[in-house]
Amino acid sequence: MSILGSFSISTRGMRSQATALGIIGTNVANVNAGGYKRTDPFFQTLKSNSLFAQSDLGGPKPVVSQTTSIQGTVTGTTRELDLAIAGDGLFVTRTTFDTSGETLYTRDGSFELTTREPFTVTDPDTGNSYEAKKAYLVDKNGNFLLGYPADAAGVFPTSGPPEPMRVDQLAFSDNGRPTTVLELALNMDSNSEISGDHLTAVSNFIASGSRGPGMEVLTLDFVDSAGTRQTARLNLTKTSSNTWGMSATVQGPPAAQINNVTLSGAIETGDTYSVTVNGTTASYTATATDTMTTVTSALVAALNGNTTIAADITASSSTSGALTLTGMTVGTSFTASATAANGSPTAQVDTLTMVGTVDAGDSYSVTIDGNTVTYNVTGAEANFAEVITNFKNLINATAPVNTIVTADFGALVGEITLTADTASTSFVSSTLATDGGITPGNTAVISTTQATFNPTGTNTASTLTSTYANGLYTTTPTTLNFNGSGILTNPTPVSFNLTYPPATTGGSTTTATFSLDIDGFTQFANPFIVQRVTENGFESAAISQVGFDASGHVVGFFTSGTSVQLYQIPLATFSNPDALETADGMVFKETVDSGTPTVQVVTVNGQATFLPGAVELSNVSLVDEFTAIIKTQRAYSSSARAFQTVDEMLENATNMKR
- The tens digit of pLDDT for each residue in 249-288 reads 987 777 778 888 888 888 877 888 999 999 999 999 988 7
**Choice among 134-138, 222-226, 461-465, 499-503 with the minimum mean pLDDT:** 461-465
What is the CB-side half-sphere exposure of residue 284 using CA atoms within 13 A?
Answer: 24
Collapsing DSSP to helix, strand or coil, 198 comes out as helix
Collapsing DSSP to helix, strand or coil, 391 comes out as helix
* CB neighbour list of residue 637: distance below 8 Å, 6 or more residues apart: none
Give the C-alpha separation, 391 to 322, whole Å.
50
**Choice among 159-173, 416-430, 539-553, 631-645 with the minimum mean pLDDT:** 631-645
Q: Rg of the chain over CA atoms, in angstroms? A: 50
Average pLDDT over every residue of 379-391: 88
Q: Which percentage of the chain shows pLDDT scores above 90?
A: 41
Predicted local distance difference test score (pLDDT) of residue 467: 56
pLDDT at 3 over 70: no
Predicted local distance difference test score (pLDDT) of residue 505: 43
pLDDT tens string 279-313:
999 999 988 788 999 999 999 999 999 999 999 99
Predicted local distance difference test score (pLDDT) of residue 46: 63
Query: Alpha helices of 306-334 — where are they, by DSSP H?
Result: 307-310
Average pLDDT over every residue of 15-27: 80
Give the C-alpha separation, 263 to 315, whole Å.
14
Range from 1-5, 343-347, 619-623 that averages highest in pLDDT: 619-623
Q: How many residues does the chain have?
A: 658
Predicted local distance difference test score (pLDDT) of residue 553: 94
Give the C-alpha separation, 213 to 191, whole Å.
11
Give the C-alpha separation, 439 to 233, whole Å.
88
Q: Residue 503: which pLDDT band, with cuts at 50, 70 and 90? A: low
Q: Residue 2: which pLDDT band, with cuts at 50, 70 and 90? A: low
Average pLDDT over every residue of 37-46: 76
pLDDT at 613 over 90: yes
Q: What is the β-pairing status of strands 57-66 and 74-76?
A: unpaired
pLDDT at 450 over 60: no
* CB neighbour list of residue 421: distance below 8 Å, 6 or more residues apart: 347, 403, 404, 405, 406
Give the C-alpha separation, 313 to 336, whole Å.
10
Predicted local distance difference test score (pLDDT) of residue 466: 54
* Cis omega (within 30 of 0) for bond into 400: yes
Please report which helix (H) or strand (E) contains residue 9, including its range.
Answer: helix 3-29
Predicted local distance difference test score (pLDDT) of residue 143: 96
Give the C-alpha separation, 480 to 247, whole Å.
11
Predicted local distance difference test score (pLDDT) of residue 280: 96
Q: Residues 91, 107: contact at Cβ < 8 Å?
A: yes
Q: Residues 618, 30: contact at Cβ < 8 Å?
A: yes
Give the C-alpha separation, 448 to 138, whole Å.
103
Of residues 531 and 462, the one with the higher pLDDT is: 531
Collapsing DSSP to helix, strand or coil, 79 comes out as coil
pLDDT tens string 82-122:
999 999 999 999 999 999 999 999 999 999 999 887 877 77
pLDDT at 513 over 80: yes
| Angle of helix 622-655 versus helix 3-29 axis, rounded to 10 | 160
Average pLDDT over every residue of 454-464: 61
Q: What is the β-pairing status of strands 181-187 and 510-522?
A: parallel
- Tell me the one-letter amino acid at 470: N
Phi-psi region of 26 (alpha: psi -120 to 50; beta: other; left: phi over 0): alpha
Backbone phi and psi for residue 142, each to the nearest 5 degrees, phi listed first: 85, 10
Q: What is the pTM of this model?
A: 0.54
Please report which helix (H) or strand (E) contains residue 261, including its range.
Answer: strand 258-265
Q: Residues 118, 168: contact at Cβ < 8 Å?
A: no
Give the C-alpha separation, 646 to 658, whole Å.
20
